[in-house]
Structure 1
Amino acid sequence: MRVFAPLLALGLMASAAHAQCGGPFPAFVKGLKSEAVAAGHKQATVDAFFSGVQQDPKVLKADRAQGVFQKPFIEFSRRLISKQRLDKGRAMAKKYDATFKRIERDYGVSRGVLLAFWAFETDFGGFQGDFNTLNALTTLAHDCRRPELFRPQIFAALTLYEHGDFDPARTTGAWAGEIGMVQMLPRDILINGVDGDGDGHVRLKTSAPDALMSGAKMLSHLGWRAGEPWLQEVTVPADLDWSLTGPGQNLTVADWAKRGVRPREGKLAQGGLPASIILPQGRKGPAFIAYPNFNVYFEWNQSFTYVLTAAYFANRLEGSAIYDAGTPEPGLDGPQMKRLQQKLAARGYDVGKIDGILGAGTRAAVQAEQKRLGLPADAWPTMALLNRL
C-alpha cells in the first residue's frame, strides 16, 4: 500500500498547537472541528462533514500488516504481472488512446507508466477499496504513527466536500485514505486533480480520463522529466565493480557503457544522463539501468520492490520482453532477515524498523558489510553474509 512523501502545504497550515494525536477519539474529533472552523470553514458544514465519523480498527490492522513487500522482486513481479493484466492494459491503452495522447503531449508521461499504476492500484478501477475514507483518514491521524501525513488529508477532504466532490458517508477507498482508480489522497486531488472528461468535476472513482490525467499531473508535479525513459533491462559483465551498483549511486550512461553495461533490447539512453544499476536479487539475478524518472516512483510509493515491479510492468505494457531472471543466490526468509537487521543495527547501521523487509537502509548496510568482508558488494543478503556476521 502506498505511503506518500510529504506534500506541498495547501489550505490549513499545521501548527504545533494542532499537531496532537491520540487521546479519546471524540475529543480528537472535537479538536479537528475547532481547527476547521478556525481556518474559515462554516460551522454547519464542519458539523455535517464530521457527523458520522468513526474510528475503524480494521484500518489500523491493515496498516500493521503489509507483509507482501517481504517478497523478493522475482516472486513479487510474477505474482502481480499476469497475461490477463497485460492484455487488459493493452486494451485500455487503445480504449483511452485520446486521453493518453493528451497526457503524453501535456505532461510527457508515457502511457505504460500510468497503465501500470492503474493495474496495480485498482485492477483498472475494478476494486478501489471499501474503507470509508473519512473514517480511515481520521483513524490514521488519531493514531500517533504518522499524524503529520494523515491529519492534513482530513481538511483536504473537507474542501472536496465543499466542492461537491466528496461524500463523508459514502466515499470509499483504500485503508490509507487513497481514492479512485489510481488511488490519490485528498490533498493530492486538490493540488493535481484534472477534469479530464470536461464535466466540471474531478471524479477519480468513476471517470478514467479524470483519474489518468490527474495521475499524470501528479507525476509531473513530483518531478517527472517529460519524454525521458525510467527503466531498462541490461546485461552486466561478471567483473563489474558491484559496490558501484544500487539506487542512488549514479554514473553517466556513457560511464556505465564503458564498464560493459549493455541493453538487452534497443539502445541505452543518451550518454550524459545520470543512471544507476539496479540488481534486485544480486549480481546473478535480473539487472536494470534506472534513469532519473525512476526516482519519481519513490514519491508515489516507497517500497523498492513495488516501485521496481511497476516500472518494469510499464515497459512490458509498451512491448518489452520478459526479463531474464538469471540464477540468483537464495535470499533470506523473514526471520532470517530480521536476524540480519538486528546484527546490522548492532554494528551501528540505520536499517529502520526490524521488520524483515529489505528496504533501502538494509540494502545499503548489506552492501557496506559485503565490501568490508571482501564479498561481492551487490547488496543482496544471503546466508553466507548472515553466517559471516
Structure 2
Amino acid sequence: MRLFAPLIALCLAAPTAHAQCGGAFSAFVDGLRSEAVSKGHDRGTVNAFFRNVRQDPKVLRADRAQGVFQKPFIEFSRRLISQNRIDRGRAMAKKYDSVFDRIEREFGVSRGVLLAFWAFETDYGGFQGDFNTLNALTTLAHDCRRPQLFRPQIFAALELYEHGDFDPARTTGAWAGEIGMVQMLPRDIIENGVDGDGDGHVRLKTSAPDALMSGGKMLSNLGWRAGEPWLQEVRVPDTLDWSLTGPGQTRTVADWAKMGVRPRAGQLAKGSLPASIILPQGRKGPAFIAYPNFQVYFEWNQSFTYVLTAAYFATRLEGGKVYDAGNPEPGLSGTQMKQLQAKLQARGHDVGKIDGILGGGTRAAVQAEQKRLGLPADAWPTAALLNRL
C-alpha cells in the first residue's frame, strides 16, 4: 500500500491558452487532442493515444486521502523504517554496487539517498502502483487543483508513446502518474532518463540500473551538490535561541558550533557550509543539522515529514545511528491542528490549505506566534499555544 506522497518534481511551465480544467471530461479530452495536434503531433497518433482514456475516480480519492502526513515525524519515520527495509537496502547496495559507484562518480549522489527513495516509493521495486498512468494524469489534469502540474505531463507521455516507450493501455504506476522503481513523471523521464544497463532503452519499471541512474541524474539536475552531506543528527544546548531554527533559516556550520551545536556522532561538515537546525517535534525531540543538499529533497517532494524521514533513512542505510527521540511535548490532534491553522490564518499568516498537516507554512506561522507570545519559538505546536491563541 502506498502510504506516502508521490515523488513530484514541480513542473514550472507557464499556463497556456489550452490550460483549462474541469467541465465535461469528454470535452476536456477533445481539448487535449486539439492542443496536441497544434503542437505538431500527428493527428492519427494523437487519436490512438487518447482513444481509450477514462476518468478514474480512484485517483481523486487517493489524492484527497493523504492522512498519513498528519502524523508527526517520530511516528511517521517509525512506520516507514523497519529493520527489514534496512537489511534489504544494504543487500541492494551490495547487489548494485557498481551501479551506485557509477552514480556517485557521475552525479555525486550518495547511494543511501537513492536507496531510501527506492525503498519508500516502491519497496525496492516490489510495488510500483497499478493505476493506468494516462488515466491518472488526465484525471488529475481535469481536476482543477493542480492542472499546471499534470497537464504538461500528458504531452510528455505522448512523446514517450511516439518513441515506443509508453503504452496508453498498459503503462501503470502510482496514482499521481509516476512510473517505475523510483517513481518519475513522464517529463522527468524525458529529461533525466538514463540507459543504465546498456540495452538501448530506458525502462524504469524493470531495470534497476536504469531507474537508479535516472534518479541520480534527476537529483543532480535539481541541484545536488556532489560529495556534500545532507543531514546529520546533533545535540543542541538548552540555551539555543529557538527562533533561529527551522529549514528556512541558515547559519554557517561554524556559527552553529559556536552556539553549542554538537554532532551526536562523527564530525560536523566544514565550517563555511550553510546549514539549518531542524527540530521536527520541538526543542525536546530529535534534532538535526540540515546541509544544502537537504533542500534538494523539497524539489522532489513537498512534504516536510516525508523529506526529513527520507533524508534520515539515507543516513541509516549508510551506517548512521537510530536518532534520539528525546521526550517531546504532546502535539495536536488533526482537529486541533485545523483549529490552530484557522487561528493562524485569521492572524494573517499564510498556512495554505487548512488540512491538519504541519507543513512549512504552518511551522513558520507557529514559530512567529510563539516568538510574539514569549514562548520557546521551536515551531512545534502544542495545546498551550492553541489555548493562548
Scaled by the length of structure 2, the TM-score of the pair is: 0.98
Residue 304 of structure 2 corresponds to: 304
Residue 383 of structure 2 corresponds to: 383
Q: Structure 1, residues 257-310: CA drift from partner, whole Å, max 9, x if none?
A: 000000011100000000000000000000000000000000110000000000
Residue 192 of structure 1 corresponds to: 192
Runs of 4+ in 1 over 6 A off after TM superposition: none
What is the identity, as a one-letter code, of the residue corresponding to 1:388?
A: R
What is the identity, as a one-letter code, of the residue corresponding to 1:2?
A: P
What is the identity, as a one-letter code, of the residue corresponding to 1:269?
A: A
What is the identity, as a one-letter code, of the residue corresponding to 2:157?
A: A
Residue 4 of structure 1 corresponds to: 8
What is the identity, as a one-letter code, of the residue corresponding to 2:252?
A: T
Cα deviation, residue 6, structure 1: 3.1
Cα deviation, residue 23, structure 1: 1.1
Matches within 5 A, 1:1-389: 1-2=5-6, 4-7=8-11, 16-389=16-389
CA contact (8 A) 1:278 1:290 kept: yes
Structure 1 CA distance for aligned equivalents of residues 178 and 160 of structure 2 = 14
Scaled by the length of structure 1, the TM-score of the pair is: 0.98
Q: Structure 1, residues 31-86: CA drift from partner, whole Å, max 9, x if none?
A: 11111111111111111111110000000111111000000000000000000000
RMSD (CA atoms): 0.9
Structure 2 CA distance for aligned equivalents of residues 58 and 110 of structure 1 = 36
3-state SS of the aligned residue for 1:189? helix
Q: Structure 1 residues 8, 336: CA separation in 2 closer, same or farther (over 3 Å shift)? A: closer
Q: Structure 1, residues 126-170: CA drift from partner, whole Å, max 9, x if none?
A: 000000000000000111111110000000001101111111000
Q: Structure 1, residues 91-136: CA drift from partner, whole Å, max 9, x if none?
A: 0000000100000000000000000000000000000000000000
CA contact (8 A) 2:204 2:210 kept: yes
Structure 2 CA distance for aligned equivalents of residues 163 and 206 of structure 1 = 18
Structure 2 CA distance for aligned equivalents of residues 89 and 381 of structure 1 = 34
Structure 2 CA distance for aligned equivalents of residues 350 and 35 of structure 1 = 35
CA contact (8 A) 1:2 1:302 kept: no
3-state SS of the aligned residue for 1:277? strand
Cα deviation, residue 2, structure 1: 2.4
CA contact (8 A) 1:137 1:177 kept: yes
What is the identity, as a one-letter code, of the residue corresponding to 2:10?
A: P
Cα deviation, residue 15, structure 1: 5.4
Cα deviation, residue 5, structure 1: 4.4
Which segments of 5 or more consecutive residues in structure 1 lack a partner in the other structure? none
Cα deviation, residue 3, structure 1: 5.7
3-state SS of the aligned residue for 2:384? helix
CA contact (8 A) 1:344 1:351 kept: yes
Judge which range, 30-39 or 214-223, deviates more: 30-39
3-state SS of the aligned residue for 2:103? helix
CA contact (8 A) 1:49 1:168 kept: yes
State the identity %: 84
Structure 2 CA distance for aligned equivalents of residues 17 and 248 of structure 1 = 35
Cα deviation, residue 7, structure 1: 3.3
What is the identity, as a one-letter code, of the residue corresponding to 2:219?
A: L
Structure 2 CA distance for aligned equivalents of residues 95 and 258 of structure 1 = 42
3-state SS of the aligned residue for 2:153? helix
Cα deviation, residue 8, structure 1: 6.1
Structure 2 CA distance for aligned equivalents of residues 326 and 196 of structure 1 = 42
Aligned residues: 385
